[in-house]
Structure 1
Amino acid sequence: MTLPLTSSPTTRRRLLCGCAALAAVALAGCGRKDEAADAGRPHEIAAQSSCSLDGMLLADYPGPKGQIIYKGDSQVNWFCDSVELLNALLKPEQVRPLLTAHVQDMAQADWDKPVGHWVDARQAFYVLGSKRHGSMGPTAASFAEEAAAKAFAAQWGGRVLRYAEIKPEMVDLSGGALHDTRM
């Protein structure tokens, strides 16, 4: 079947408007996908980044840090200690859908001034009960790889756990802030 070479201006106009609308929808969808990917990426700690729970400046304290971004919220919720992040994930006061949660890989980051080296908090390995302390005292040292977590535990003590093995009572926040003399 062939289309007539002459068509009414109304038909041509509708066809062009329809094509333009489809192109706009396709481009808008691409932009949203990129925005969603960017929103799920970990952010870097800035000098003014403070803990969402207690306002402590993250850069002032040693040990692994954490961050959560909730769906529908572009703001980073910072945690000055991985135990605080785990507590928020395992014992949330509010149930909110997560976009992303990250902790630092302490095999790569400097313990005293940790920067960067973010890994998915739900894929990480943790060492609980070690002699190394974070900003709130005893912490959950976080690692991207199990071998690094085991090496840390061999040097500093503690036991290696996957995220799925950590129970809410293991990340209790009742004692850390009570013993912080720098606040």
Structure 2
Amino acid sequence: MDAFRLLHRLLAAGAPAMLLALLSACSGGTPPPAAIEPAAGEACALDGMLLADYPGPKAQIHYASGPPEYFCDTVEMFSLLLRPDEQRPVRAAYTQDMGKADWREPRGHWIDARSAWYVHGSRMQGSMGPTLAAFARAEDAEVFAREHGGQVLRFEQVTPDMVDLRGGADHGH
């Protein structure tokens, strides 16, 4: 039986729950993996720096295979996610909500990186200099920008030029 006939029979039989299950199975509807708190002594995937040794929001990327990769700041996460040559499928990306986490020693408070609000150009420093502060709530990002400078952006508004690790973001890796 072809997919169209199966779909028609499901609708005719009044089985919307079964249809939803079928559609989610066809679309690979597995939920993204949850954020995982980095282990003590976890190092940055790009430069080997220990995450716990530096201030500011950290990040993690979960690829389709393998363990998550951790980053000592959001600039590194964005530099990978916005790279046109990045070929590995990303299942999830997380950063820390600086509306709740302590800037000097952020722990926990992981949020979906794609739905976060960011402040670009603030006076607050991350692991290697300027970074993008991340927030779950727009109001927290706006308060941070008023106090520390910078512009409030959504994920889609962050450009590769803002996170260029070749010196454009003061990252001397």
Which bin holds the TM-score, normalised by the shorter protein?
0.7 to 0.9
Deviation of residue 149 (structure 1)? 0.3
Aligned equivalents of 2:99 and 2:105: distance in 1? 13
Deviation of residue 119 (structure 1)? 0.5
Match of 2:123 among 131, 150, 154: 131
Report whether the alignment pairs 1:145 with 2:137.
Answer: yes
Match of 1:65 among 37, 48, 58: 58
Q: Whose helix fraction is larger, Structure 1's or Structure 2's?
A: 1
The percent of aligned pairs where both chains have the same amino acid is 50
RMSD: 1.7
Task: Give the aligned partner of residue 44 of structure 2.
Answer: 51
Hey, which bits of structure 1, 4+ residues long, moved more than 3 A?
none
TM-score (norm 1): 0.74
Aligned equivalents of 1:166 and 1:120: distance in 2? 15
User: Per the alignment, in what secondary structure is the counterpart of residue 162 of structure 2?
Assistant: helix
Aligned equivalents of 1:56 and 1:93: distance in 2? 24
Q: For the structure 1 residues 47 and 63, does the alpha-carbon distance in structure 2 shift closer, same or farther, using more than 3 Å as the test?
A: same
User: Per the alignment, in what secondary structure is the counterpart of residue 125 of structure 2?
Assistant: strand
Aligned equivalents of 2:38 and 2:89: distance in 1? 23
Aligned equivalents of 1:173 and 1:67: distance in 2? 17
Match of 1:40 among 9, 27, 33: 33
CA contact (8 A) 1:71 1:97 kept: yes
Per-residue Cα deviation, 1:48-88 (whole angstroms, up to 9, x for no partner): 21100010000000000000010122x11000011100111
Question: Runs of 5+ in structure 1 lacking a partner?
Answer: 1-32
Aligned equivalents of 1:117 and 1:92: distance in 2? 29
Question: Runs of 5+ in structure 2 lacking a partner?
Answer: 1-27
- Trace 1:99-110 onto structure 2 (pairs within 5 A): 99-110=91-102
Aligned equivalents of 2:113 and 2:84: distance in 1? 15
What code does the residue aligned with 1:129 have? G
Per-residue Cα deviation, 1:3-46 (whole angstroms, up to 9, x for no partner): xxxxxxxxxxxxxxxxxxxxxxxxxxxxxx9xx65x71001022
What code does the residue aligned with 1:67 have? Q
Deviation of residue 93 (structure 1)? 4.3
Task: Give the aligned partner of residue 76 of structure 1.
Answer: 68
Per-residue Cα deviation, 1:143-181 (whole angstroms, up to 9, x for no partner): 011110000000000000000111111111123343x9x
TM-score (norm 2): 0.78
Q: For the structure 1 residues 92 and 110, does the alpha-carbon distance in structure 2 shift closer, same or farther, using more than 3 Å as the test?
A: farther
Count of residue correspondences: 143
